[in-house]
Copies of this chain bind each other. A is one copy, B any other.
């Protein structure tokens, strides 16, 4: 080992000195929302003499990133432009691989195996990145400041709050749990958003079994304690129900043979089906499998109140009848809400009536310079074609003839499709190959080149296009792609300022700097327990069973952010196969 350490030291020393001799000299010219930065690299032939002074270095643009979840971490991992000075502010000093949280609740995977310190993620980058463990309290977009509070409260000497300036602000703070103001939920239900939540659920499951095993507890009480209620039939709730069922049947049953037959798992869903966002075949398979497994699925059951021992539900199928169900542990996993300081910020910028921070297609918060929002706290406010139809027509009608030839139209087709992704979705839904077909449909079957449309005909042709506008789901996949997209924009900020690569500005001059964000759906998994997983892949390809489980294993292993977590997660799975899951209260 000493050799190993020695090697590390030598390597570190080398890296440090080499980066010193490559010290960057920056001449920064600000302009509008972008920044034009010219830089020179002091090369080694220069005898290591430093060019420039510390003042020029400090003129780096300051990027503040709020949050270390999927979006923030993906941004940091992909950012590699040394012309920024980055400050990360988050109450969690680690990134957590949240799709494995349900596995943590049952101990299939350890909490530590799915987290990676954020400092580890950016430590090897040749960039100026700092991290502060604090939560953001307030955003002052006018003065480009954020107010933070350290979330550590041991021996803090009263110093708690501080202010950070920014040139660019990246808001990637994720979302809260949404209780829909249901009384008792905050006090009595478990959530499944953070690593600590999963650990708490795991301890509580064991606690329930221990309590039910006490000699003085009545049988009725045992039944209540061992009734696990899960509210919300989305992917998280379903996966948790399945993994809890496996935990009980494969592991806890052996350790608590006296009480295992009293265990009951109930999944409460207000809608008509669980996994409603998936293909119907998956929903049917899941409902069927749960029935066989003895997991009760109550659909059309809306929770209206939670007390310490009972859940009250409104049964939609029985005309809104209120019933109460005794329970031992309840897990609430129904949708997401907005964090309080984001709500305040939304009020400031006149978005108070929205669910999440509205951004344009470039992830810029609307009406807010140099503020970006991505991940669960944001929603892209896709521009409608019909809002811009006159501008589009005018731009396309180059000869100002008042009519649009197919040729004229074809010249702007790519820009339209890029700027308004709903066009492409609409074409796909109508099984058309190109936008020209749309015009044909409007005009009847005429020869391509000769077709001419006036503005009214053009409007009519595109009138239904906006119906295909879709909100992106609040998933890790979206957040991660947004983070990577935004980092690439930041990496090429100066370059694209000079040579814009985006679509035509229909309502202005020139082109947009960047291509707008476009989400690429890679598919979604729904693990159903017992080594069965449902997978819905792009092109509506559905796969259910053990093969999907192995696909799940390989995808989740490959998506880990570091070799360390990858090795840990895989070894956790192996350990579970060999030794089962642990049931200590740790």
Footprint of B on A, CB under 8 Å?
A: 1-2, 4-5, 12, 92-94, 110-112, 115-117, 119-120, 123, 130-134, 150, 152, 154-157, 159, 162, 164, 195, 199, 204, 206-208, 210-211, 213-217, 221, 225, 250, 254-256, 308-309, 328-329, 530-531, 546, 563-564, 567-568, 571, 575, 577-579, 582-586
- Do A119 and B214 touch (CB < 8 A)? no
- Do A585 and B94 touch (CB < 8 A)? yes
A559 to chain B, nearest CB (A): 18
Nearest 5 Cβ contacts at the A-B interface: A94-B584, A133-B210, A564-B579, A119-B255, A162-B216
Q: Knowing that A120-B255, A157-B221 are A-B contacts, what are 14 other residue pairs whose CB atoms are under 8 Å apart, sorted by A's residue number?
A: A1-B546, A2-B530, A4-B577, A110-B112, A112-B582, A131-B213, A132-B215, A152-B207, A154-B204, A154-B207, A159-B217, A159-B221, A164-B215, A567-B578
Copies, count: 2
- Do A309 and B1 touch (CB < 8 A)? no
- Do B152 and A210 touch (CB < 8 A)? yes
Complex: chain B residue closest to A157, CB-CB: B221
- Do B155 and A309 touch (CB < 8 A)? yes
- Whether A584 touches B115, Cβ cut-off 8 Å, given contacts A123-B255, A309-B155, is yes
Q: Which secondary structure dominates chain A's binding surface?
A: mixed
- Alpha-carbon distance between A155 and B583 when the two chains are bound, in angstroms: 20
Contacts A/B (CB < 8 Å), 15 sampled: A92-B585, A93-B210, A93-B584, A93-B585, A117-B255, A119-B255, A119-B256, A120-B255, A120-B583, A154-B208, A154-B329, A157-B221, A564-B579, A567-B579, A571-B571
A579 to chain B, nearest CB (A): 4
- Whether A586 touches B111, Cβ cut-off 8 Å, given contacts A93-B210, A213-B131, A309-B157, is yes
- Alpha-carbon distance between A556 and B154 when the two chains are bound, in angstroms: 34
What residues of B have a CB within 8 angstroms of the CB of A162 in the complex? 214-216
What residues of B have a CB within 8 angstroms of the CB of A250 in the complex? 5
